[in-house]
A = this chain, B = another copy of it.
């Protein structure tokens, strides 16, 4: 099977239900119809074998993780994911691997009504680069740079589980149910597209938590030229991380990457209305701190003392 047959067989056949795809896979480029009054969002993420995932993972999980990581970037802008290109580099032609990968793509794309519109398949060390395209109503994209002094800082869900799963990757002595739950968080993160309508209306800044909560909040602070004061007692830590890490759990929640929850800010004046909208939508978020003028991150410890917070997150270099 050559690469064209491979693309046709495994990828061109992935169904979608989008009338805005004028044409997708099978030409030199895909062609898309962009609705009036919207702006286009574009984001690329690469997942490299044995850096972002293990080569030994089921290809189904690799595909799901790659899609979810990319969808999360669109969610962080308050947008809707629409179209995806896939650049897949493979060490060899492995039909079973490709079947699992294509199934993972199919299932994760259909969940968000995303069309696979093109890409490239090459031979080389295993890696996956996805470029996702989303839409947002004109001038409603939520940037990292909009946080203002006095804004409340929110996080969309419990943190630390993906980092805990990474620690357990080579362990064989962990309770199977716990391990399954943690691995689900690592391999099948849940991008918070459900928050987009509320965030479009109320968030002054937003980011997805990929590098680690404190590192990602620091990105908002840097871009907005502000600082942040957190209340550690309010940080939602995943219960299994509490179980396994005890006193160290908060460290996992603050520094562990790959959570793909959203961190965002809401002006104090809008907070009541925001919480009402959230409740109407059946969603829960956690208020964990406040934006301040002084640069840097600070945190109120469980002891009541406020101390500077070290920003730790993943860096490739």
Q: How far is the CB of A180 from chain B (nearest CB, A)?
A: 28
Q: Once bound together, how far apart are the Cα atoms of A77 and B143, in whole Å?
A: 33
User: A30 contacts B41, CB within 8 Å?
Assistant: yes
- Say whether A244 faces chain B, with CB atoms less than 8 Å apart: no
Q: Which parts of A1-40 form the interface with B (CB within 8 Å)?
A: 1-4, 6, 22-23, 26-34, 36, 39-40
Q: Once bound together, how far apart are the Cα atoms of A26 and B224, in whole Å?
A: 12
* Chain B residues within 8 Å of A41, by CB: 29-32
User: A48 contacts B122, CB within 8 Å?
Assistant: yes
Number of identical protomers: 2
Q: How far is the CB of A281 from chain B (nearest CB, A)?
A: 21
Q: Which of A77, A86, A127, A223 has the most CB of B within 10 A?
A: A127
* Chain B residues within 8 Å of A121, by CB: 316-317
- Say whether A183 faces chain B, with CB atoms less than 8 Å apart: no
Q: Once bound together, how far apart are the Cα atoms of A85 and B46, in whole Å?
A: 12
- Say whether A51 faces chain B, with CB atoms less than 8 Å apart: yes
Contact of A76 among B23, B28, B119, B134 (CB under 8 A): B28
Q: How far is the CB of A220 from chain B (nearest CB, A)?
A: 10
User: A26 contacts B129, CB within 8 Å?
Assistant: no
User: Which A positions have Cβ atoms within 8 angstroms of B?
Assistant: 1-4, 6, 22-23, 26-34, 36, 39-46, 48-49, 51-52, 72-74, 76-77, 79, 83, 85-87, 89-90, 92-93, 117-125, 127, 129, 131-134, 136, 138-139, 141, 143-145, 206-208, 219, 223, 315-317
8 tightest A-B CB contacts, nearest first: A48-B124, A2-B315, A29-B43, A28-B76, A131-B131, A125-B125, A123-B316, A129-B129
